[in-house]
Amino acid sequence: MNPTAKSLILKAQDNIDTAKKFLDDDSQHDVVGYNLAQATECLLKALCATRDLEFPDGDDGHDLDSLMETLEEDNLAAVSSHADVVELTQYNNPRAHVRPEDRLDLAEYLEHVEDLKKLVREHTM
């Protein structure tokens, strides 16, 4: 396995574990969202690393939609079925504060991230 991809997958798992730890604490909603967004970013970047693709530059490197597009442009059609994860972009900033009316159901998005992790494993092993 590509060492960069392996490192990113391990980091993603750390973020998932942190999100799970605080998932049921409503006062930690933004922390959970941030960790799920970071896990998603790491998983998408792991796929890029496996395919020898450069990550987008600047802020686009943290934009989950830009990372998804990079993979789709490289004909990784399977990633398109995980497009729901791009909605986590609003949390992908450590200072993000998502208004209550704009909050996602993060338990649902945890499942989406776990599904993405399975896809990454299939493509990195």
Per-residue pLDDT tens over the stretch 41-84: 999 999 999 999 988 777 778 889 999 999 999 988 889 888 89
Is the separation of the CB atoms in 95 and 30 below 8 Å?
no
Higher pLDDT, 58 or 88: 88
Q: Can you tell me the distance from the alpha carbon of 112 to that of 86, in angstroms, rounded to the nearest whole number? A: 10
Q: What is the pLDDT of residue 95?
A: 85
What pTM was computed for the model? 0.94
Looking at residue 90, what DSSP letter applies? G
Q: What is the pLDDT of residue 98?
A: 92
Per-residue pLDDT tens over the stretch 101-124: 999 999 999 999 999 999 999 988
Domains, the chain, ranges and CATH? 3-124 (1.20.120.330)
Q: What is the pLDDT of residue 77?
A: 82
pLDDT of 39 higher than 80 = yes
Q: What are phi and psi of 109, to 5 degrees?
A: -70, -25
CA triple 18-24-29, angle to 5 deg? 70
Distances (CA, A) of 8 to 3, 15, 26, 28, 89: 9, 11, 28, 24, 18
